[in-house]
């Protein structure tokens, strides 16, 4: 059906899990953009946008069916990641004098919500103006996290076809929360090979360096004179899996990716303080090759529950977690 926002919204059956749970796919279309979102994992399965000649192609790495998403879980293709995006060192943190032990799913550490994070859950869905709102209840103790958390994530298309993801959450006990979307972007097209060479700008004057376990050291490293300096657009090379400390909100987006051949431009605007740049160097061809897409994960910083010098990710009863990221599409 067509909503008052001029976004055309539709839904269809996508598959059924082994326990009989149905998974649906929602399609949003407006101003040349067509986005498909799954109730399984809140996954952005595809994002089709035109190039400078008007030819539309999918620029988000996605998989064709539910079985493929269940098989290839490690890359988190397009998924809504939580309760905690990125890493928590030692799979534990202390809050209000109590230590909480989490699922270890990356060596001794916790990453992206654990063994059965939000990326593997089936979300409830309802149509809202301009798109679809997904909702989920995360039980107290799930993957070791305290508190019963009620969440929503609204996927809508703004005027011009920009994809807006707006997250909200409340809790009944003190907890930590850090959500992100894990889409891999390739502006030349999802099946075009490596995304390296596309030009990237990130509005960040510092990064949080990491140790051998990809955990932050607690430092803030100025990007000037380093390979992390994307303050002016330059081609993306490989071997990035780092959190950038975004500048204060300003007139420019937090990040911009540009493919000079197709002319497509992706802009990322967010309320979050950080952005994880991941170039997927370790993809092995199943189903995508190395660097087939570039992830730009808006987030709070990794291991913040163990780093008091980082912006807090604590959510308490009576507070509301609110976070919004907008992915704009244009041509140049």
Positions marked active-site: 182, 297
Tell me if 174 sits within 8 A of 97, measured CB to CB.
Answer: no
Q: Tell me, what DSSP letter sits at residue 69?
A: H
* Alpha-carbon torsion, ordered 182, 188, 189, 195, to 10 deg: -50
d(CA 179, CA 284): 27
How many angstroms from the chain centroid is the CA of residue 279?
Answer: 14
Cβ atoms within 10 Å, residue 21: 12
Q: Tell me, what DSSP letter sits at residue 312?
A: P
d(CA 221, CA 244): 10
Which stretch of DSSP H or E encloses residue 278? strand 274-278
């Amino acid at each position: 059906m067509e909503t008052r926002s001029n976004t055309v919204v539709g839904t269809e059956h996508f598959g059924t899990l082994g326990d009989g749970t149905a998974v649906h796919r929602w399609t949003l279309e407006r101003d040349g953009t067509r986005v498909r979102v799954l109730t399984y994992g809140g996954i952005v399965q595809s994002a089709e946008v035109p190039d400078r000649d008007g030819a539309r192609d999918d620029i988000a790495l996605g998989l064709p069916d539910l079985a493929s998403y269940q098989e290839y879980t490690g890359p988190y293709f397009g998924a809504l990641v939580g309760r905690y995006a990125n890493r928590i060192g030692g799979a534990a943190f202390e809050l209000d004098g109590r230590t909480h032990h989490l699922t270890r799913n990356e060596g001794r550490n916790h990453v992206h919500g654990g063994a059965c994070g939000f990326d593997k859950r089936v979300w409830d869905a309802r149509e809202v103006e301009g798109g679809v709102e997904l909702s989920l209840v995360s039980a107290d103790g799930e993957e070791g996290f305290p508190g019963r958390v009620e969440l929503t994530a609204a996927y809508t298309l703004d005027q011009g076809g920009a994809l807006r993801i707006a997250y909200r959450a409340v809790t009944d006990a003190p907890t930590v929360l850090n959500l992100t979307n894990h889409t891999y972007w390739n502006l030349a097209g999802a099946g075009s090979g490596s995304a390296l060479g596309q030009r990237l700008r990130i509005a960040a004057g510092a990064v949080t360096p990491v140790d051998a376990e990809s955990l932050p050291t607690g430092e803030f490293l100025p990007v000037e004179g380093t390979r992390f300096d994307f303050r002016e657009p330059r081609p993306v090379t490989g071997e990035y899996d780092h959190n950038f400390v975004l500048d204060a909100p300003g007139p420019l987006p937090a990040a911009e990716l540009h493919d000079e051949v197709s002319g497509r431009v992706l802009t990322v605007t967010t309320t979050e303080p950080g952005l994880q740049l991941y170039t997927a160097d370790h993809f092995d061809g199943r189903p995508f090759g190395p660097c087939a897409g570039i992830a730009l994960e808006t987030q709070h910083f990794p291991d913040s529950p163990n780093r008091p010098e980082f912006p807090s990710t604590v959510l308490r009863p009576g507070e509301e977690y609110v976070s919004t990221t907008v992915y704009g599409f244009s041509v140049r």
